[in-house]
């Protein structure tokens, strides 16, 4: 679902990834996509599946989740 915010479309994405390098790569990719497409993207990063469960909000349009993490991964989510 894409939401209308201040006259622009906004996509809210949650990234659940325990490795900083992959967090940075995904964020950079989404920033590049935003710059070329004109779409507005808001990114929230979580380091573990438990973190997103504790802070879950139904406002995210997309959740990108690692399938192998320490406490709770994408297969258990």
Average pLDDT on 27-40 reads 89
The pLDDT assigned to 30 comes to 93
Rounded mean pLDDT, 14-34? 91
Q: H helices of 1-77, where?
A: 20-37, 49-54
DSSP tally for the chain: helices H, then strands E? 2, 4
For the full predicted model, state whether its pTM sits above 0.85: no
The pLDDT confidence band at residue 8, using thresholds 50, 70 and 90, is: low
């Amino acid at each position: 679902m894409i939401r209308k915010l201040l006259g622009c479309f906004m996509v809210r994405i949650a990234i659940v990834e325990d490795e900083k390098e992959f967090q940075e790569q995904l964020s950079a990719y989404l920033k590049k996509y935003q710059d070329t497409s004109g779409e507005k993207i808001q990114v929230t990063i979580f380091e573990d599946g438990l973190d997103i469960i504790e802070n879950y909000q139904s406002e995210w349009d997309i959740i990108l989740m690692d399938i192998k993490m320490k406490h709770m991964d994408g297969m258990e989510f």
